Amino acid sequence: MEYQRALSSSISRKSLDISGIYPPICTPYNHDESITFDKLEYNMKKWNQIPFKGYVVQGSNAEWCFQSWDERVQVVRETARLAAPGRVIMAGSGCESTRDTIRMCKDMSEAGAHALLVVNPFYFKDNMTSDALVAHFTAVADHSPLPIVMYNVPRNTGVDIPVDAVVKLAQHHNIIGIKDSGGDITRIASIVFATASSDFQVLAGSAGFLLAAYNVGCVGGICALANVLGEETCRLADLAQSNDLKAAMDLQLRLVGPNSCVTKRFGVPGLKTSMEWFGYYGGPPRSPLQSLSDNQVQAIKSEFQKSFFL
């Protein structure tokens, strides 16, 4: 923990390199839906053996929207304590109001984070114009003690942060990047191109388009599939930056089916189910999410088998 705090204190805004692969880690629950920190430690010991750049804590796969304020902060604190030395802790800090987001950023900083992943407000989505989002992220970045990584996940929020807003916000000294989970490679390429002079880092939000994202200038990925196939996701990142295009393409194609199962097809319950097959603790989701039916479990297993991971 002291090492992690020292890393935080040495970070001066845009100097933080966030390139690489991050699993957006799941929150392990007991069957009574309480958080089981011993299982978090169990999973972290295994993840610490994989060459991740760091961990995203309280991203979408953590089910943060079902947690209390204190739970969100406590999971970050424990993950920072358990992480291998040198791993970047990126903490999900988005809230619906600007003032709560600022307060959460400060609490996550004290819990041991090094960077903050901030999803856009979305409840009043029709009012989340480019101007409103620029005002929100600017205020958050102005007051945050740590660098901000914006989080664009339109499938969950119903809001696609406009490219013009991203480009404007990329000029802020305390906004260092964006995780884009939309899967629109043209949009991602446009952001990379338009922010090239702003020392701005773009991360792919899924292993399903990781190779394409690297090919248009992304520096890494925050990938749900890395919870399960961490070595393989890191391997794809390495291949994407090598001259072995065929090996990169072959691995990318094998990852597409399993990735789809643990993201848009079956979501967090699918991810947690598949974790169990690879020696991790997945456990149940927190309600209202429901565990999968036997038929759904078999559908996921079939995709992993077809891709030769099981």
* 39, 168, 179, 272: the active-site residue: 179
Sign, Cα dihedral of 285, 286, 290, 293: positive
* Sheet containing 175-180: order of strands: 20-22, 220-222, 201-204, 175-180, 148-152, 115-119, 88-92, 54-57
How far is it, in rounded angstroms, from Cα 64 to Cα 104?
Answer: 12
* 29, 151, 280, 281: the active-site residue: 151
For residue 42, indicate whether it is catalytic: no
For residue 306, indicate whether it is catalytic: no
Sign, Cα dihedral of 283, 84, 148, 155: negative
Annotated binding residue 222:
yes
Q: How crowded is residue 124: how many other Cβ atoms within 10 Å of its Cβ?
A: 10
Q: Catalytic residue positions?
A: 151, 179
Annotated binding site: 222
The binding site for pyruvate comprises 222
